[in-house]
Amino acid sequence: MQILLKVIICLSILIYFPIYLKLVQDESHLYLFLKKYQPVFSLAAVFSFLLPPLSLFWLVFCFAVGTYGLLRFFQRGGFYIEESLIDFSMLYLALGGIWFAVFQMDWTFLGFSGLTALLTAIHFHYSSLYTLLFLGLLGRTLKEKGRLSKWYFAGGILLIITPILVALGITYSRVLEIASVSVFMLGLFVYCGLSFSLQSIFIKLSSTSIFISISLSLLYSFRLVDIPIMVYMHGMINTVLFAGFGLYGYLKLSPKSHFDIKDLPISNISGNRKMGIDFFSRQNFVEKNSVHPRGMVDDMGVFERKDFKASNVHPMIKDFYVNTVDFNMDIFPNWNKFFYPLALIYKKISDKMEQMNFPVNNYETTEVNSEMLKIIDKMDQRDNVRAWIRSDLRSRKAIYVAAYSTNPNSLGERFYNVFFPLPFGGMTSILRINHYRNDGVSLTSVSDKRRNDLNGVYLKLFKKNFRIPINETIDVWYENNVLKAYHISYLLGIPVLELHYVMTPRDTNEKEA
């Protein structure tokens, strides 16, 4: 029996895992390193059955894969469930590497060794590795057809949390084992149901085999079948039918990842210790001998798409976006009382930095001065860039220092692309514009989770970009002869700050001044 178990884990390490890496599809340096040297580490793992210390090389490799998965997760901020599933499969492989080394080195870990260690290693080299990979690849494929369903998200969350619970249950608690296997079954049923929509006989056969496999797992959790039966039937079904057929099926489909962050048009500008109203001129980013723009965008028509018609937007709102500096602006905040103590600390930092320098006293009105400057596109590396500097009219300190542009997705739909310079980098908010009420507009970084959505807030730090758990929505409407805006910012989905704006056209004398 132990010989068969060794064959099963070697098949994953030597044959299946190279296919796994090919399906992940990436161009990062760490990924290319792992892909290039995987055969060397895999051979070391196989030969460790003759020379056990070689298993430590596979342990190091598994930790490198787990590190890659962790970095990959943080780069996307966990916002794309289909990619997060793949990330967690890598993290779980690191645990598989530990148990593999424990078995090969004849160690005792957490009170277990021998056959239990080998079975646990196989669990993390199959159940968590390929199940999470397949659901992630399925998500990539389904995104081609539209947004992912709530069932997909539910199944994804269940399959992310249960592999470790199953392993703990087998090790420590019969009750936990039965409960976790039952939850794991629910996640697998979701995967099976959704996977049958794919036009691949191999994936359908792979999914069908799950029903037999999970039935055996449930029987084993009640000790109605013994380990030898699990090894020969459950092991072979998972190895050949589920993993083998599934890998071949997805290899034929080769589903592509959601857009890569490195492909986003992020400004090449980086901030320093202090931004302030003269930041762009101080850094020589301003285009000299140029007519400076008057608004955030030259024409609202650039956002035209099937579900957004610029002609339906109120003329005053269009005028505000095209001639922003011709409007007076008053702003008053409303901080979430839970975050207010932090806001007082943050204010001391933002006041010195003069960036994202929000008012801190709730409902205290701040009069805003606006200035627009044309930025040298070549230095910014985006198109038609303009800086909008908003400052406190009384203190002359900057509130917002931002460089505005727009960029299209693969369908040609345009998004606002707003960059805020910060020390060692900056923050980019990519906003989709939608209709609001009858003739207003709403801009949001919250994604509808479609494949072509670019929405999100991204942090650039030392030239590396990361999706961060911040979102914002800005609603603009015309009411009682004035323009109003409501800007709400979220951290981890929790409302942190509301900014209320009132915008009125400047009179002729003010414009000339």
405-414: per-residue pLDDT in tens?
999 988 899 9
Mean pLDDT score, 248-262: 87
Res 510: pLDDT:
53
Q: Which of 184, 205, 187 has the alpha carbon at shortest distance from 196?
A: 205
Task: Compute the half-sphere exposure of residue 36: CA atoms within 13 Å on the CB side of its CA.
Answer: 7
User: 396: which residues sit within 8 A by CB, 6+ positions away?
Assistant: 277, 369
User: Would you state the pLDDT for residue 309?
Assistant: 95
3-state secondary structure of 460: strand
CB within 8 A of 103, min separation 6: which ones? 55, 113, 114, 117, 118, 121
| Token duo for residue 400 | 């917002």
Assess whether pLDDT exceeds 90 at residue 303: yes
pLDDT value of residue 454: 87
Selection from 22-31, 162-171, 230-239 with the highest mean pLDDT: 22-31
363 vs 139, residue with greater confidence: 139
Quick one: pLDDT band at residue 333, thresholds 50, 70, 90? very high
- pLDDT on residue 236: 79
Distance in angstroms (rounded) separating the CA atoms of residues 277 and 284 = 13
pLDDT tens profile 50-77: 999 999 999 999 999 999 999 999 988 8
Amino acid at 305: R
Q: How confident is the model at residue 13 (pLDDT cuts 50, 70, 90)?
A: very high
Higher pLDDT, 237 or 471: 471
Query: What is the reported pLDDT for 170?
Result: 67
Better pLDDT: 80 or 248:
248
- The predicted model gives 9-29 an average pLDDT of 95
Find where tokens 């132990």 sit: 2
What angle, rounded to 10 degrees, do the helices at 114-125 and 150-172 form?
A: 170
What is the pLDDT, as a whole number, of residue 217? 67
pLDDT in tens, 94-131: 999 999 999 999 998 877 788 889 988 998 999 889 99
Residue 112: per-residue pLDDT: 74
Grouping H, G, I as helix, E, B as strand and the rest as coil, residue 222 is coil
Helix axes 17-24, 127-143, angle to 10 degrees: 30
Report pLDDT digits (tens) over 153-202.
999 999 998 877 876 776 677 787 778 878 888 888 899 999 999 989 99
The confidence score (pLDDT) of residue 319 equals 96
Mean per-residue pLDDT for 29-57? 96
- pLDDT tens per residue across span 412-436: 999 999 999 999 999 999 999 999 9
Contact in structure between 122 and 128 (CB atoms under 8 Å): no
pLDDT digits (tens, 9 = 90+) for 362-404: 778 889 999 999 999 999 999 999 999 999 998 899 999 999 9
Q: What one-character-per-residue DSSP string does 431-457 give?
A: EEEEEETTTEEEEE------TT---EE
Report DSSP state, residue 273: S
Q: Backbone phi, then psi, for 281, in 5-degree steps?
A: -70, -35
| Percent of the chain's residues with pLDDT above 70 | 95
pLDDT of residue 171: 66
Go through 95-121 and write b for each residue having 16 or more CB atoms within 10 A of its CB, e for each that does not.
bbbbbbbbbbbeeeeeebbeebbbbbb
Sign of CA dihedral 301, 302, 303, 306: positive
What pLDDT shows up at residue 244? 95
Res 232: pLDDT: 67
What Cα–Cα distance (Å) separates residue 114 from each residue in 100, 102, 107, 231, 351?
10, 8, 8, 15, 61
